[in-house]
């Protein structure tokens, strides 16, 4: 596990606590060091870094790999949380927090990540094909580049074409099981998927409930 935290008064007890819980931890204090670090099985990322903004570090990490990322920060505003999740973070925890809650979040994110990487069959809805095993999406045979969250959202919606997935169910499985606020980030990702897939009617909005996939019209 990689802990990216420049405040040693926070980093040192955090690392000690995580090691007591059985985690193998590497700690760095800058964004540059985080981007240069050896691949980790999870990243705890502070946003207020001295060299590179934490959002940019999150974006670069996500562009390079599917490593689970938990943002750990003092920035508690809704807009900060939305931005962090849209950039690819798997969870967002506001300081101060308890070690038990953090460990619970780590384990929950790890379970969701393992589930996403499990082998599965290919799915097809109209001209859209989703290969969950290789995490590839094609439309009419042409591959479409999706972000991690966009792919996970599409994979969930195409698991049972026509079945309605509630907003709460999607947020819990694709984003954060502890999300209790507005779900604007979900609408942003649905809009992005519709645009990238080129078939706006593939993902239908079920007003007041959630979304489902259907044959494009």
Q: Global pTM? A: 0.58
Residues 92 and 71 in one domain: yes
78, 101, 116: which is the final residue of a domain? 116
What is the model's pLDDT at position 15?
A: 95
Please confirm whether the linkage preceding 192 is cis (ω < 30° from 0): no
Residues 192 and 146 in one domain: yes
Using CB atoms within 10 A of its CB, is residue 211 exposed (0-12), middle (13-18) or buried (19+)?
buried
Give the per-residue SS3 of 40-75: CCCEEECCCCCCCCHHHHHHHHHHHCCCCEEEEECC
Q: How far apart are CA 90 and CA 128, in angstroms?
A: 26
Q: How far apart are CA 173 and CA 190, in angstroms?
A: 15
Residues 147 and 160 in one domain: yes
- The pLDDT tens digits of the residues spanning 150-196 come to 999 999 999 888 889 998 888 888 876 555 555 678 888 999 999 99
| 147 φ, ψ (degrees, to nearest 5) | -75, 170
What is the model's pLDDT at position 123?
A: 87
Q: pLDDT in tens for each of the 217 residues of the chain?
A: 999 999 999 999 999 999 998 999 999 999 999 999 998 999 999 999 999 999 999 999 988 888 899 999 888 888 888 888 888 888 889 888 899 999 998 988 887 776 554 445 688 888 999 998 888 999 988 999 998 889 999 999 998 888 899 988 888 888 765 555 556 788 889 999 999 999 989 999 998 899 999 877 6
82, 116, 150: which is the final residue of a domain? 116
- Domain with 155, as residue range(s), is 119-213
57-61 long-range CB contacts below 8 Å, 24 or more apart?
A: 57/4, 57/31, 58/84, 58/87, 58/88, 58/89, 59/87, 59/88, 60/35, 61/34, 61/35, 61/88
Residues 13 and 71 in one domain: yes
What is the model's pLDDT at position 203?
A: 94
């Amino acid at each position: 596990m990689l802990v990216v935290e420049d405040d040693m008064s926070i980093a040192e007890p955090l690392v000690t606590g995580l090691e007591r819980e059985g985690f193998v931890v590497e700690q760095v204090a800058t964004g540059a060091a985080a981007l240069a670090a050896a691949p980790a099985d999870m990243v705890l990322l502070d946003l207020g870094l001295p060299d590179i903004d934490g959002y940019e570090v999150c974006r670069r990490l996500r562009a390079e790999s599917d490593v689970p990322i938990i943002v750990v920060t003092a920035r508690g505003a809704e807009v900060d949380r939305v931005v962090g999740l849209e950039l690819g973070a798997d969870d967002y925890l506001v300081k101060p927090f308890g070690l038990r809650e953090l460990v619970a979040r780590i384990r929950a994110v790890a379970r969701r990540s393992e589930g996403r990487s499990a082998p599965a069959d290919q799915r097809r809805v109209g001209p859209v094909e989703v290969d969950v095993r290789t995490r590839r999406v094609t439309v009419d045979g042409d591959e479409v580049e999706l972000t991690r969250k966009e792919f996970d959202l599409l994979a969930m919606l195409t698991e049972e074409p026509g079945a309605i997935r509630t907003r709460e169910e999607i947020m819990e499985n694709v984003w954060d099981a502890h999300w209790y606020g507005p779900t604007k980030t979900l609408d942003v990702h649905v809009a992005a998927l519709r645009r990238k897939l080129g078939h706006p009617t593939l993902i239908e909005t079920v007003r007041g409930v959630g979304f489902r996939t259907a044959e494009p019209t």
